[in-house]
């Protein structure tokens, strides 16, 4: 079993839809959670960074962490074609020496 599980998709939604992307994990020591967006042939771009449980909102993006269920989510409101990309979750704990453990990435396509 992988430490971090993420549905690879692909996920296709119409423009304006609410998108929900999710990751589950097995290591209860993870405390630091990130979401990255990666356009084709580009480097990953940090979208959201959260510590421990709770919600964080930034514009159309909301990140949620539920440590009791070992489950994190990224919601995208009013999705746009420019949101079409691969979304990677990543996480770490104090003992990882700065290593990030990535999910496999979810490929999202937003159709006009």
* Interface positions with another protein (CB under 8 A): 8, 32, 34, 36, 41-46, 49, 51, 88, 90, 92, 97-100, 102-105, 107
Least Å from the CB of residue 11 to another protein? 14
How far, in Å, are 67, 89, 101 from residue 3 at the CA level? 14, 12, 8
Least Å from the CB of residue 16 to another protein? 27
Residue closer to another protein, measured from CB, 7 or 107? 107
Least Å from the CB of residue 2 to another protein? 10
Distance CA 5, CA 87 (A): 13
Residue closer to another protein, measured from CB, 13 or 100? 100
CA quadruple 99, 55, 21, 13: dihedral positive or negative? negative
Q: Which residue has the tokens 């304006």?
A: 16
């Amino acid at each position: 079993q992988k430490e971090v599980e993420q549905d690879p998709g692909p996920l296709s939604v119409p423009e304006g839809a609410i998108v929900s992307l999710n990751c589950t994990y097995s290591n209860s020591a993870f405390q630091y959670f990130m979401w990255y967006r990666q356009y084709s042939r580009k480097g990953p771009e940090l979208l959201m960074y959260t510590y421990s449980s709770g919600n964080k909102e930034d514009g159309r993006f909301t990140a949620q962490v539920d440590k009791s269920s070992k489950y994190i989510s990224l919601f995208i409101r009013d999705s746009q074609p420019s949101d079409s990309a691969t979304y990677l979750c990543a996480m770490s704990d104090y003992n990882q020496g700065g290593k990030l453990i990535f999910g496999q990435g979810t490929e999202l396509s937003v159709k006009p």
